[in-house]
């Protein structure tokens, strides 16, 4: 299906972008896991086109969420942990390129199945790790370095396949593997996500489905505007909404989203 946006869909696009952007700004996600079922199930985009649109929206959310969260997690604190960011990027950039190439070769029906399975997997990670707190890192030294690269590579693949920022995987990795605070982990995940997503986006630009962005400029602009409003709200809410309540709720939404995508195939 073409998936071209029409006038009645624009208010829904703005509202959907705002709600998902607020989640991204609050937790440190691109919000794409929740946007993807919306693009497929409500706006009727084909799987690969939805992934590409999702990637574009996720870039907007990630790029705006970082400065909006700065009042709680300043850039200086993010910069003081640059080694962790570089460690994860060493794997995630390669993973993003590989994953985007794989997605462009999959049949739509197969891609729907992969998307559903990944959404369920991410939900399980959120459920299992929602009460994780900062503390001692799981590994240190060379072992941590190797584990960080491996984790980054896997996260890069998932991010490219779903058109997501990968924060649901990055945040547990940062908390458990590197022992950082959960709020700092949210901002560090955004710092890793932005270049990772740019690599995946560049790879997708080589596929003919990338033209979906040009065919749906008005839809894209409206949803992007809603996303920016949402990330501002989410950044202001940071520290007010407890993660112990929010993350399990997001996991439930992911499971519902996975069912919706699976049925759409």
Per residue in 43-64, pLDDT (tens digit) is 888 888 888 888 888 888 888 8
Return the DSSP state at 209. G
pLDDT of 214 above 60: yes
pLDDT (mean) for 255-265: 70
pLDDT category at 18 given cuts 50, 70, 90 is very high
Predicted pLDDT at 265: 54
Tell me the three-class secondary structure of 183-202, residue by residue: HHHHHHHHHHHHHHHHHHHH
pLDDT of 141 above 80: yes
pLDDT of 1 above 70: no
Instruction: State the pTM of this model.
Output: 0.76
pLDDT (mean) for 178-206: 86
pLDDT (mean) for 107-127: 73
**CA 258 to CA 238: how far, in whole Å?**
27
**CA 99 to CA 122: how far, in whole Å?**
17
> Residue 61: which of 92, 95, 27, 94 has the closest Cα?
27
Would you put residue 159 in left (φ > 0), alpha (ψ -120 to 50) or beta?
alpha
Per residue in 154-185, pLDDT (tens digit) is 888 877 776 677 777 788 789 888 988 878 88
pLDDT category at 227 given cuts 50, 70, 90 is very high
pLDDT of 246 above 80: no
Do residues 209 and 55 touch, judged by C-beta distance below 8 A? no
More reliable by pLDDT, 113 or 191: 191
């Amino acid at each position: 299906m073409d998936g071209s946006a029409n006038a009645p869909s624009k208010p829904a696009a703005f509202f959907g972008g705002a709600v998902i952007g607020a989640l991204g700004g609050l937790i440190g996600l691109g919000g794409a896991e929740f946007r993807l079922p919306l693009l497929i199930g409500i706006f009727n985009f084909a799987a690969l086109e939805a992934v590409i649109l999702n990637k574009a929206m996720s870039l907007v959310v990630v790029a705006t969420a970082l400065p909006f969260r700065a009042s709680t997690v300043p850039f200086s604190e993010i910069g003081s942990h640059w080694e962790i960011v570089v460690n994860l990027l060493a794997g995630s950039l390669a993973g993003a390129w590989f994953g985007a190439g794989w997605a462009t070769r999959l049949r739509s029906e197969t891609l729907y199945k992969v998307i559903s399975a990944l959404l369920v997997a991410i939900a399980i990670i959120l459920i299992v790790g929602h009460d994780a707190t900062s503390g001692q890192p799981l590994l240190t030294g060379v072992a941590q370095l190797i584990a960080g690269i491996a984790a980054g590579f896997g996260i890069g693949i998932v991010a490219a396949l779903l058109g997501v920022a990968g924060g649901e995987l990055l945040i547990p990795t940062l908390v458990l593997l590197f022992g950082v605070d959960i709020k700092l982990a949210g901002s560090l995940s955004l710092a890793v996500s932005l270049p990772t997503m740019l690599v995946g986006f560049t790879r997708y630009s080589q596929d003919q489905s990338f033209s979906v962005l040009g065919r749906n400029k008005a839809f894209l602009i409206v949803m992007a505007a809603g996303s920016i409003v949402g990330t501002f709200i989410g950044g202001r809410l940071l520290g007010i909404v407890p993660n112990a309540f929010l993350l399990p709720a997001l996991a439930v939404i992911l499971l519902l989203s996975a069912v919706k995508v699976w049925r759409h195939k």
